[in-house]
Homo-oligomer: A and B are copies of this chain.
């Protein structure tokens, strides 16, 4: 039994280190570029039935997506922007789109039967508003939502503060601004639409500062635990915490909440980063679901990577040590895996 567990657990880790997440198509959270109509930023989205892969092994699930991905594209605007988001439904069921966290004209709030009629199959609906609420927000279905959000109709809506000095690049000097959307319905426990080992590690360089925007689109609270160093929690639902800021290593995020954290990448290595409800992260056959890693790479030196391998079977430390060549995904080192 222990041997079987170890074999299965190691195999999953190897798949993760081999970059399974990066090998899959349909990556979510890709920035959606608007077109301009005068000074209005226009975003075109379709609402589709899709086949979505939770990982490379499981059969694709029959899901829903905006522009074909789960999570949906990241829509990012600046406070004060006039936004027009046109949604064309290719579904065979009715739907509605809610911009969660925004101040909106009531008839743009996206609650069918309360503020609009449902968007029927084949129809379009245009949401138009001024982005007044800066911070980390979301857009998702608000119609038969237990089902439709569970199947993937969810995405990040980021409103950058009007004052550039308040944006995380300037305010905290972050080199990465990362969306982290969890879900726990179709496909089980997922981060950005993938379950371990197909989750994507976060790769940073020693000395970097990064921001993570946790968004819970699921129906359970998840306490996110980072190994190795703490998180400074700076905003909740898009509102700066100010004197209510705190530091922690485990952060419970309830459904519908968004929490922004800043991480100083001070400790080199591969750090587990997972939900601490252990049933969401590890089972008899090893880690699964809500697990990823923060990999902090030391700068390469003349004589090569200084960071030494702790475990010849794992490979991750060697991977972490490979240097600053890639900051987008856990780089695959020739000979590792």
Which A residues are closer than 8 A to B by beta carbons? 1-2, 5-6, 9-10, 13, 92-94, 98, 100-101, 103-107, 109, 111-118, 120-121, 133, 142-147, 149-150, 219-221, 223, 225, 227-230, 236-239, 241-250, 252, 254-258, 266-272, 276-279, 281-284, 286, 293, 307-308, 310-311, 313-314, 316-317, 320
Q: Which residue of B lies closest to A316 (CB)?
A: B114
Known contacts A115-B314, A247-B237, A271 near B109 by CB under 8 Å: yes
Residues of chain B within 8 A of A147, CB atoms compared: 284
Q: Contact between B254 and A250 (Cβ–Cβ < 8 Å)? A: yes
Residues of chain B within 8 A of A245, CB atoms compared: 243-244
Cβ-defined partner of A317 (8 Å) among B2, B107, B221: B107
Known contacts A6-B118, A109-B227, A316-B114, A241 near B237 by CB under 8 Å: no
Closest Cβ of chain B to A314, distance in Å, is 5
- Give the complex CA separation of A145 and B284 in angstroms: 9
Q: Which residue of B lies closest to A267 (CB)?
A: B103
The quantity of this chain's copies bound in the complex is 3
Q: Which residue of B lies closest to A310 (CB)?
A: B107
- Give the complex CA separation of A243 and B237 in angstroms: 18
- Give the complex CA separation of A269 and B106 in angstroms: 5
Known contacts A278-B219, A284-B147, A254 near B257 by CB under 8 Å: no
Q: Contact between A106 and B270 (Cβ–Cβ < 8 Å)? A: yes
Residues of chain B within 8 A of A250, CB atoms compared: 237, 254-258
Q: Contact between B237 and A230 (Cβ–Cβ < 8 Å)? A: yes
Closest Cβ of chain B to A128, distance in Å, is 13
Cβ-defined partner of A115 (8 Å) among B100, B239, B316: B316
Closest Cβ of chain B to A132, distance in Å, is 10
Residues of chain B within 8 A of A254, CB atoms compared: 221, 223, 250, 252, 276
- Give the complex CA separation of A220 and B279 in angstroms: 10
Residues of chain B within 8 A of A10, CB atoms compared: 113
Known contacts A144-B284, A223-B254, A2 near B121 by CB under 8 Å: yes
Q: Contact between B243 and A313 (Cβ–Cβ < 8 Å)? A: no
**Most central of A9, A105, A267, A276 by chain B CB within 10 Å:** A276
- Give the complex CA separation of A254 and B230 in angstroms: 16
Q: Which residue of B lies closest to A257 (CB)?
A: B250
Known contacts A2-B121, A229-B103, A313-B113, A255 near B144 by CB under 8 Å: no
Residues of chain B within 8 A of A229, CB atoms compared: 103
Q: Contact between B5 and A116 (Cβ–Cβ < 8 Å)? A: no
Cβ-defined partner of A257 (8 Å) among B109, B243, B248: B248
